Amino acid sequence: MKTYQSSEIKNLTLLGNSGSGKSILTESMLYFGGVIKRKGEISSKNTISDYRPIEHEIGNSISSTVAYTEIAGKKINILDNPGMDDFIGNVIASIHTADIGLMVINAQNGVEVGTEIHNRYFEKTGKPLIITIGHLDHEQSNFEKTFEMIKNTFGGNAVLAQFPVNAGVGFDAIVDVITNKMYKISGDKIEISDIPEEFVAQAEEIKTELIEKAAEVDESLMEIFFEKDTLNEEEMMKGISAGLPQRGIFPIFCINPRNDLGVQRLLEFIANVAPSPDTLPAVVNNEEKEIKCDSNAKTSLFIFKTSIEEHIGEINYFKVLSGTVAENIDLYNSKKNTKERISQLFVCAGKTRNKVDKLYAGDIGATVKLKSAKIGHTLVPVGEDWEMPPIEWPEPKHRMAIKAKSEADDEKLGEALSRIHEEDQSLRYEYSKELKQLLVSGQGEYHLNIMKWFLNNQFKIEFDFIKPRIPYRETITKTAQADYRHKKQSGGAGQFGEVYIVIEPYVPNIPDPTMYKIDGKEIKISVRGKEEIKLEWGGMLQYYNCIVGGSIDTRFLPAILKGIMEKMEEGPLTGSYARDIRVCVYDGKMHPVDSNEISFKLAGRNAFNNAFKNAGPKIMEPIYDLEVLVPGARMGDVMSDLQGRRAIVQGMSSEKGFEKIATRVPLSEMDNYSTALRSITAGRAMYSMKFYEYQQVPPDVQDKLLKEYEASQNEE
């Protein structure tokens, strides 16, 4: 296969809602470039993009697909993405890699929730965007309404480059105001002709708007426009070419990939006008150094996708950042401190891999049999040690606990989850020591159900989803005193330790204690030593040695602290972590023979337990900031649901045709929220959540939690 210079490469990511037509557009693009000889159909389960068994089963994309096409001496790399929000991790990796976005919009539905979500991530990159409108041949297509929705979402920079002649059933022609031609289906070919007289006025009106937008991006063009009230074709193209990288213009094209209408023209525009990687700003590595897209520089590449394919194993897809990649080149993985050899080099069209000798800077390729390199890793010249900033994955929205049905599969389950995570970094797993559960989290219930399919079918592991426990915290609200004597005699040396403590809530920057008055009794405190322990689960423990007169030997004080820490790791109320407590050990007794560390550890543990229960103990729950974008018509239903989840609204505003609700909500109330929200809004809403802080639970919730914990302890 031919190799392409950086200036001959375009890197395109296909964005848009599920069902917008991205996979079929990919088929048509590859067909025009001669990469495939026959176009596949989703119903026939033979498309380039959806080649995985699970995608055949569910009829939807769940992973991004790497492909390419060739036209007019240019190579266009294509990253086709799933449209459902559950698989946004794949989209984010593609957006990170590509240089140009192609937003595909269904004229039946207009701007959908997937369009909104993809655009929110893409516009953060500042990369150029092209828009296509498809499904114009359907009875329910509405070009005018779709264009209006595009304007509302993408703003005034979205301008028509084409318009359909007869949208709806029988749609077979488009007018292109850049080329001043009409493209019409004629048998199995596309016929190109002058614009018919009846559409000339409409074309001139649309072209005028396009010219105005092209003139805005360049001062010299603006001067010409003011002087002549127009631009010639060369000047207009100069403005469009300059406006794309600046996001000063989002040209809109019309397509019907099933009949190939408009697809070749779209490819020609991308090949001739869209920026190549060597013309875009250099990327910056973790050392704040620019890595220019230069084929003559030292070789470096970034892995943006890892996939495990049947009969092949692990495939890593990468973008060449600089230099030239050839077979048998040695590079260095600074993330893993290992040397990697590129033994084989491919360009891919779905599951089809074509061998190539080399790839130049800016191109996209794949390799196999790397030692330790995975998605997110940078391979650099041997002797260098930099890497690119990591891809920023979205925070999980839905979590469940998971347990293998057979204990023999426990280790196998962990290994399988690790491999699944390698392919989809937005799907996470961890064993929670605190909750004593293996937790999996993703972007929604459907996301986890897809993970279940892989575990059941690919890894042959049977398991159960379990409701995850909530990571509550326990603390106190007032001062309390307690003492405890641990005494045990069973022949020979015994055990003896007696400890007196005072506990109170920890508050930052308060002075050291000097006296407590509890139940009318004064306890004088003389601080001899102090430890501040920043707890790994959040909060603080202040531990004071206030022993006077040697009633407890200083060598036993660490044992007392150890006993207190053990009880803080398994709180007295519900077994949750305790936090934000000050402890003063002020008196005690010991025995010259029977006292030892275990005795004082147990005495300290039990004294702390007793004091805690008398110190106004409270359970605290994790509170999350929740942001929901919802269509105005569904605002009331969403608000009612949130109120039932103990959410407290922080504010409301409007954003690009959506109402934005900012709330704070307890994690315990977020069970199945992604499913509920999708049901309430017919999939039109989106949300994100982030940990805010711990707050005390209401009294009725605390009573319920205490009863549940007591019942579970009795069962055990």
DSSP characters over 400-430? EEEEESSGGGHHHHHHHHHHHHHH-TTSEEE
> Are 353 and 411 within 8 A, CB to CB?
no
Architecture of domain 284-381: Beta Barrel (2.40)
Q: Residue ranges of the chain with pLDDT lower than 70? A: 491-492, 656-657, 715-716
Q: How many CB atoms lie within 10 A of CB 698?
A: 13
Q: What CATH fold (topology level) applies to the domain 6-277?
A: Rossmann fold (3.40.50)
Q: Which residues belong to CATH 2.40.30.10 in the chain? A: 284-381
CATH number 3.50.50.60 is the correct assignment for the domain at 398-469: no
pLDDT at 695: 95
CA distance to 27, 75, 80, 445, per residue, from 35 (Å): 10, 11, 16, 37
Q: Which two tokens stand for residue 658?
A: 């959506």
Backbone angles phi, psi at 636, to 5 degrees: -60, -45
> Are 419 and 308 within 8 A, CB to CB?
yes
Residues sharing a CB contact under 8 Å with residue 460, sequence separation 6 or more, in sequence order: none
In our burial notation (b when 16+ CB lie closer than 10 A, e otherwise), range 423-448 reads bbbbbbbeeeebbebbbbbbbbbbbb
Q: Which residues belong to CATH 3.30.70.870 in the chain? A: 398-469
CA distance 353 to 312: 11
CATH class of 619-701: alpha beta
CA distance 74 to 29: 13
Query: What is the CA angle 567-569-572, rounded to 5?
Result: 45
**pTM of structure:** 0.87
**Using CA atoms in the order 683, 688, 691, 692, what is the torsion angle rounded to 10 degrees?**
-110
Q: Which two tokens stand for residue 489?
A: 């005699």
> What is the enclosing helix (H) or strand (E) of 380?
strand 378-381
**What is the 3-class SS of 215-255, one letter each residue?**
HHCCHHHHHHHHHHCCCCHHHHHHHHHHHCCCCCCEEEEEC
CA distance 50 to 53: 8
Q: Long-range contacts for 327-330 (Cβ within 8 Å, ≥24 apart)?
A: 327/357, 327/358, 329/299, 330/382
Q: What pLDDT, in 10s, does the model give residues 681-708?
A: 887 788 888 999 999 999 999 999 999 8
Q: Which residues belong to CATH 3.40.50.300 in the chain? A: 6-277
Q: What CATH fold (topology level) applies to the domain 474-616?
A: Ribosomal Protein S5; domain 2 (3.30.230)
DSSP code, position 66: E
Q: Which residues belong to CATH 3.30.230.10 in the chain? A: 474-616
pLDDT at 106: 96
Radius of gyration of the chain (CA): 32
Strand pairing partners for 655? Answer: 658
DSSP code, position 456: I
> Are 441 and 399 within 8 A, CB to CB?
yes
> What is the enclosing helix (H) or strand (E) of 164?
strand 162-164
pLDDT at 631: 84
CA distance 608 to 560: 10
